Amino acid sequence: MLFNSLEFLIFFPVVTLIYYFLPHHVRWIHLLLSSCIFYMFFIPLYILILLLTILVDYYAGIWIERSDDKRKKKYLVLSIISTCLILFIFKYTDFFYSNVQSLSHLLGFNYPQKTMHIILPIGLSFHTFQSLSYVIEVYKGRQRAERHFGFYALYVMFYPQLVSGPIERPQNLLLQLKQVKSFELSNLIRGMRLILFGLFVKMAVADNLGYYVDQIYDNPDRYNSESVITGLLFYSFQIYGDFFGYSTIALGCALCMGFTLMDNFKNPYFSKSFTEFWQRWHISLSTWFRDYVYIPLGGNKVSWKFWLLNILIVFALSGFWHGASWTFVIWGLLHGIVYISEKAISKFKNKIVILSLRWQRIQDPFRVILTFILVSILWILFRARNTDQVSAIIHALLSPTQNGDNIFIESKVWILLFAFVLFDFLLLKNRFDRWCSGIHPVVRWSVYAVLIFSILALSSVNQFPFIYFQF
């Protein structure tokens, strides 16, 4: 079920209303059943895969808590392997076979082509990582194993963040699910504000941009370099608006019922470096890799050679998490290389000169622009379907401007993009729901009216699925 669908327009108020009318001790049943219905709107049978993951990690958590140190590690490893195996089968099997075939042909062997064409269960990467965070936290002793199967299942399946995050830790979400939630009008108002803003960002901004991005990426040879540059710019804001819009709606839906989810974005395109970018972009994923991969590998408490290796491993895995393609792996590795380069340059600069505060302020806008340009260029690898399309985009980007067509873009698209950037700037220090509380009521209701008008009248005629659903 999509957040921007008619079905959800009915589903959300009904689920929220029933939730508050039910007594606390049965609310978990209602939310669990509702989450199952929400998930089964995609491919109903795939809920069995989700159930299998839940069963594995539920019992693994109990066994880990009951066992001594040696057995704890054994159960943890078995849980990780079992959970990741499910992800591998559905997400990476075809990728594995195609690469084995290519390698065998290169070596002169006749390896038969195998393609299973498995449909990836929606949100599998997200709830896999959420399940893994639970068993790891239990293993570390930072979370008690959950004995109530229903609450644990709900922790994994909670519908607002089920298919695209944020990837929550059990200390936050699992604890909240057990708390008695009373109706608070302020939570409902703030939640509805977030939903409204998220729908605007997704439907009015991201989907309008996506129409032109698809044209350019599908036929890069047709357009001149100026149009291709516009396509790169548009995709940067399309993927941000698409994912940020989903996350904002998710936060709003949860808040309407009194649940607080972590913020997944904090104005990433105002970052002054790649380091800062990854502190602001998809925060739940970047902190997941930090806590469960980077730090266990030694973090920054190892020699510089191993630190370099740790960084590259983390970014390569992050890329591979996003998709079963070498373009994603290369995208992750290049982010890692830029990240390392920034750290090296920063240390070198600190040794040579101590920059004054005034000089830093002058520098900051240029650093923001440079970071945005580099991030946008690397998005090519993220958006392209394969390496051939990457080559075609780069060739079109570098070709003379007089060659190819100039894409025509409606004025409403530029207006909506400007409005989105303006909102992003205004919300640098506050989230939309809180920002609204601090402005004059006339201005606030004017903002509501503009957002509603944009959604109803200016949304794209082409409805795009949320980009991160494919992960």
Query: pLDDT-derived band of residue 350, with 50, 70 and 90 as boundaries?
Result: low
Cα–Cα distance, 387 to 385 (Å, whole number): 7
Answer yes or no: is pLDDT of 461 > 80: no
**Residue 223 DSSP code:** B
Once rounded to an integer, what is the mean pLDDT over residues 118-131? 87
Question: pLDDT tens, 385-401?
Answer: 888 899 989 988 887 65
Token match 């972009």: residue?
A: 281
For 395-443, give the secondary structure using H, E and C. HHHHCCCCCCECCCCCHHHHHHHHHHHHHHHHCCCCCHHHHHHCCCHHH
Instruction: Name the pTM for this structure.
Output: 0.93
Pair 78, 60: CB distance under 8 Å: yes
Helix (H) or strand (E) segment spanning residue 50: helix 47-66
Pair 1, 41: CB distance under 8 Å: yes
pLDDT, residue 402, reads 58
Chain mean pLDDT for the chain: 90
Rounded to 5 degrees, φ, ψ at 405 are -80, 160
Written as six digits, the tokens of 145 are 């194993």
Contacts of 251 (CB under 8 A, 6+ apart): 160, 191, 194, 198, 261, 263
Residues paired with 405 in a beta bridge: 223
**Residue 302 DSSP code:** S
Answer yes or no: is pLDDT of 352 > 70: no
Question: pLDDT tens, 55-67?
Answer: 999 999 999 999 8
